């Protein structure tokens, strides 16, 4: 990748130098031809137009070819950098979820992952490349002028330094402030938009959609105003550089005229030097926009680092060993409370679940049943005590390690926009049609799928919109079954089901997973007879209640 990025800089410099050479040589050719024509027929015949005309064609072709190749190579490099940034960010965000991301709203997090990674990757084309091109080409331009007129080279150098360094510095502070304010406004509008779209049904029912749209309009106007300020700053900087360019050209014209009178320059070289100044400033004019892009890229990198920084919650260390049989879960004197809350969910709680047991966890909402899943997978760290699974402290394991041993049909499951088959294969990509049919039979979805014209190829919609609540929940259970792990945790698996379907589902589950450890968290009494024993979660502790009734 480094060679690609370096190649983009070289090609950009080649295109800029070709543009400079084209304008300089064209100016000399036109002026020389005019002077030769005015000098008479003998001078016109002696004037060699072939060689400079060939040079003009050469520079024209190299400029076109250089710009094309620079776009291809540079943008290919940016796409690769974007892929690198997004992979880097995702690899660091995934272990933080969910505890490490509680301070970030979904829309803001998505904006950071998409927009900020784009801006960070675009630093190469929008910042590094323009400044590198300006530096390299400016040295070449001044060197060329020094060969013709050293005083003109000095003036050009001063003009390029003032416009390329002083102007971006002069506007840098104002640009930084505008970029920060705009980023905050964009973050707010993304967060609000994502939250509103997720709850659009409620807004429509409550007749609050129009008010929400008006809020967006006001926020968007504020964002547009911030962009207008940035455009005004960039336009002012470009205007100042243009004034400096014409001022430098005027001074060079005066120096060239004096050198012509002194016999140091020919008449054709005067317009050549003047036009060369204007061509030289072409590499300086993009720098104000590059300065703005630099501020945006730095802010984007800062935002990404903040999002990816470990928060010290639920962070796993490198595992010493993986769990081994028997896969017993031992919770010993565990205390736990969610961040930013004062009420403990668990306090000196202890529980042991042996491999092969079927345990029902009951208790009021918020008692801590689902919190056991978060602690088991290391999403959150306990405040005290220890949790071991298969003889290994779960805090030394990553969520990916636990996923090899434990499958979860969570209460807040997610159905992706796709077909029924797509969602099932997400859990087990290599599952055969026979295996899919088996889990559909267990979850009592066979008749439902058979009634669909497209069967498993039926599109379920965003978040399973085309499925009922009970159907979507059973699809989540089917996903968990497909993974065929030693442990199966079911969080309210029969919610939204009628009594016959509930009984049939639980009976089929018990037959299929007779040797699998099952932990069923439920409020429904009809599920409990299928369990070996029941544990009540109440008062921040686990209270065994013996065998199922």
Residue listed under structure tokens 């102007």: 167
Contact 283, 254 (CB under 8 A): no
Per-residue 3-state assignment (H helix, E strand, C coil) for 219-248: HHHHHHHHHHHHHHHHHHHHHHHHHHHHHH
Would you kindly state where each structural domain of the chain is located, as residue ranges?
2-308, 329-547
Query: What is the tens place of the pLDDT at every residue in 407-445?
Result: 999 888 889 989 999 999 999 999 999 999 999 999 999
- Long-range CB contact pairs, 74-77, < 8 A, 24+: 74/5, 74/8, 74/11, 74/12, 74/124, 74/125, 74/129, 75/125, 76/4, 77/1, 77/4, 77/5, 77/8, 77/124, 77/125
Domains 2-308 and 329-547 alike in fold? no
SS3 content of the chain, % helix, strand, coil (to 5): 65, 10, 25
Per-residue 3-state assignment (H helix, E strand, C coil) for 115-138: HHHHHHHCHHHHHHHHHHHHHHHH
Distance CA 344, CA 338 (A): 8
* H helix count then E strand count, the chain: 20, 10
Query: What is the tens place of the pLDDT at every residue in 127-170?
Result: 999 999 999 999 999 999 999 999 999 999 999 999 999 999 99
Task: Answer yes or no: CATH 1.20.1560.10 is held by domain 2-308.
Answer: yes
Domain 329-547 sits in CATH at 3.40.50.300
pLDDT, residue 35, reads 64
pLDDT, residue 36, reads 63
For residue 539, how many other CB atoms are within 10 A of its CB? 12
pLDDT, residue 219, reads 86
Q: Omega into 98 within 30° of 0, i.e. cis?
A: yes
Taking alpha carbons only, the member of 287, 333, 322, 358 closest to residue 126 is 287
Each residue's pLDDT expressed in tens, for the chain with a length of 549 residues: 678 788 888 999 999 999 999 888 888 787 777 766 666 565 556 566 777 788 888 989 999 999 999 889 988 888 999 999 999 988 888 877 776 677 777 777 888 888 899 999 999 989 999 999 999 999 999 999 999 999 999 999 999 999 999 999 999 899 999 999 988 888 888 888 877 877 787 888 888 888 888 888 888 888 899 899 999 999 999 999 999 999 999 999 999 999 999 888 888 888 889 999 999 999 999 999 999 999 999 999 998 888 888 655 444 445 457 888 899 999 999 999 887 777 889 999 999 999 999 999 998 887 888 888 888 888 888 989 999 999 999 888 877 888 899 999 988 888 998 999 999 999 999 999 999 999 999 999 999 999 999 999 999 988 888 888 899 999 999 999 999 999 999 999 998 889 999 999 999 999 888 789 999 999 888 999 999 999 999 888 999 886 554
Distance CA 246, CA 291 (A): 22
pLDDT, residue 167, reads 92
Taking alpha carbons only, the member of 264, 290, 284 closest to residue 20 is 284
pLDDT, residue 280, reads 93
pLDDT, residue 314, reads 47
Under the phi-then-psi rule, with left for phi > 0, alpha for psi from -120 to 50, and beta for the rest, what region is 353? beta
For residue 173, how many other CB atoms are within 10 A of its CB? 10
Contact 75, 126 (CB under 8 A): no
SS3 of residue 75 by DSSP: helix
Helices (H), 392-468: 399-403, 420-427, 433-442, 446-450
pLDDT, residue 406, reads 93
Identify the bridge partners of residue 547 per DSSP, sorted by sequence position.
533
Strands 487-491 and 517-521: parallel
């Amino acid at each position: 990748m480094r060679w690609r990025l370096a190649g983009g800089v070289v090609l950009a410099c080649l295109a800029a130098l070709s543009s400079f050479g084209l304008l300089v040589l064209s100016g000399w050719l036109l002026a020389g031809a005019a002077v030769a024509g005015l000098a008479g027929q003998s001078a016109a015949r002696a004037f060699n137009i072939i060689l400079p005309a060939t040079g003009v064609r050469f520079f024209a072709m190299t400029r076109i070819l250089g710009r094309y190749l620079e776009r291809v190579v540079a943008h290919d490099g940016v796409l690769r950098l974007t892929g690198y940034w997004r992979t880097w960010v995702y690899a660091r965000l995934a272990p933080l979820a969910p505890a490490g991301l509680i301070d970030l709203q979904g829309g803001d997090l998505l904006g950071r992952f998409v927009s900020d990674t784009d801006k960070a990757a675009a630093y190469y084309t929008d910042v590094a490349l323009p400044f590198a091109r300006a530096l390299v080409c400016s040295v070449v331009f001044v060197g060329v002028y020094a060969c013709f007129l050293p005083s003109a080279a000095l003036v050009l150098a001063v003009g390029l330094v003032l416009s390329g360094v002083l102007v971006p510095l002069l506007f840098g502070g104002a640009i930084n402030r505008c970029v920060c304010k705009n980023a905050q406004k964009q973050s707010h509008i993304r967060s609000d938009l994502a939250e509103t779209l997720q709850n659009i049904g409620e807004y429509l029912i409550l007749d609050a959609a129009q008010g929400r749209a008006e809020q967006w309009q006001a926020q968007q106007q504020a964002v547009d105003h911030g962009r207008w300020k940035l455009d005004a700053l960039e336009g002012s900087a470009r205007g100042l550089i243009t004034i400096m360019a014409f001022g430098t050209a005027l001074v060079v014209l005066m120096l060239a005229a004096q050198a012509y009178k002194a016999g140091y320059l020919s008449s054709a070289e005067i317009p050549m030097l003047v036009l060369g100044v204007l061509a030289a400033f072409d590499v300086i004019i993009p720098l104000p926009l590059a300065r703005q892009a630099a501020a945006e890229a730095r802010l984007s990198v800062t935002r990404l680092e903040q999002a990816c920084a470990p928060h010290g919650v639920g962070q796993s260390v490198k595992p010493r060993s993986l769990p081994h049989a028997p896969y017993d879960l031992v919770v010993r004197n565990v205390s736990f409370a969610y961040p930013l809350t004062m009420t403990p969910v668990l306090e000196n709680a202890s529980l042991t679940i042996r491999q092969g047991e079927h345990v029902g966890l009951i208790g009021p909402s918020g008692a801590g049943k689902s919190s056991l899943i978060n602690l088991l997978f290391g999403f959150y760290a306990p405040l005290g005590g220890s949790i071991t699974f298969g003889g290994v402290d779960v805090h030394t394991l990553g969520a990916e390690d636990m996923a090899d041993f434990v499958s979860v049909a969570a209460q807040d499951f997610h159905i992706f926009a796709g077909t029924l088959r797509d969602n099932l294969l997400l859990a087990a990509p290599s599952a055969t049609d026979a295996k899919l049919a088996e889990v559909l039979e267990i979850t009592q979805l066979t008749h439902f799928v058979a009634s669909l014209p497209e069967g498993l190829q039926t599109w379920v919609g965003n978040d399973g919109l085309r499925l009922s609540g009970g159907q979507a929940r059973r699809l989540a259970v089917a996903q968990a079954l497909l993974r065929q792990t030693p442990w199966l945790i079911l969080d309210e698996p029969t919610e939204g089901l009628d009594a016959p379907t509930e009984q049939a589902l639980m009976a089929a589950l018990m037959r299929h997973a007779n040797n699998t450890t099952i932990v069923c968290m439920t409020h429904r009494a009809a599920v409990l007879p299928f369990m070996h024993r029941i544990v009540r979660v109440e008062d921040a502790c686990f209270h065994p209640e013996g065998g199922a009734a």
